[in-house]
Chain A
């Protein structure tokens, strides 16, 4: 082929000239895939109503994002998948029997108020789905905490208590029921097994790092051991970990990129912080829940944590010390 006959100038750009294949869209798709096992189990447990809640919430999220961007004459970004993720997380946080318009309203709130008004993807300072959940909890607390219809057969629905509430009241919960999802709860949080399958997928795909979830869960475990009133009883602590949406929160909400610290040390501190908050809410709070509130408060302090945990650049600070030490050792060895 002839080269540049007409002396046209070629494309230039600043290096690097290649890009990794991962895109925002692919990451969001992975998150959606990771939530499918829990979603499927929710539908299996709670019936077609749960499916309608999920679909309606996702649709509300996507459509409100589209309409907002359309009317504000912004580029339409619904294909990046982030609105679907928001809708899905919100839906999985809903009691199965909730009137469907409530989570839909929540989705509109999440997208318009929490995400778009702050500048769209990447700019919000609170996890949109969680903020919407808290908004719904405050506005419709009865419907949002009514799990009576979600109790498994054979369980005393009249007492109306979730496993966490039972634990708090001094009762016992069944770890295997918690693990396999044979309990009352929101659509997505009930089956720890399904959630862990999704979490493993995210970890293997490199979408999330283990830092926040591991530190968060470990902190809650230690806190409940210390202050839960039952000492380090492993069965009890395992129940605390599996109950109350902690696993769902730890792997799917506390790992939200936008609203958690980006620095490695910051992520660890963030995990400790929300772990302590969750423990405080569980032990001293009025209700036994606390994961959502803990993460939301964590989101608000995340920028502070982040600013305080900027890593030492390569070769500075402690790295300079290491270098000095190594060189010193070498001269000593040479001297002998």
Chain B
């Protein structure tokens, strides 16, 4: 699949090292995608990296990607300005499977930049709020300053049909919210064993979160997590993203915890 040229039509600095880019294809084509999928973004002359889509799939606007500056490619992407172009291949991978969660409760748990792929879900759930039962959103970050999508999170908190909990590892002066890791919030959220949990963040955070959700009675089959791996081909060819017998790029990035846990338990592959 050849990258399609896209132009940056919007750019928002989320935190000191996180930027959201809004993109439109230069040929006017529109990408159809589902919440949870990712694209390969190509910073010309630098390289390509897999980035989750952070926009509402039903929104109809530009596609959005939220990028954290953690290496040469993501640094180049974060440096793009409105009017600049980049290459985009996708969408790839499995999605959060929101349709199969309709009619039930949702527990959404985000850690750090893991909020980006979940923003795609949360905005879709808000747009189709009647399709779901209670919606609990738990967001953990290192510090208040590292919370992405601050204004949107505030607007979610203001809604009476969402229950939003933000917690930080380290408070800074003036922070009046909760301090503690995400797992310490979970005992206080409405968590029916029949709910579907959607979890995204670094691997260790997802592991502890899945364990805490299971302590609340949720079966591993109802906990969905989104895996991050270094991707190259994104079409199950190169093996870069392989985890045991699965290709994260094609079989994932969204897996049930039931499927993923035995793969993560293997300490060396």
The answer to whether A and B assemble together is no
Q: Which residues of B contact A (CB under 8 A)?
A: none
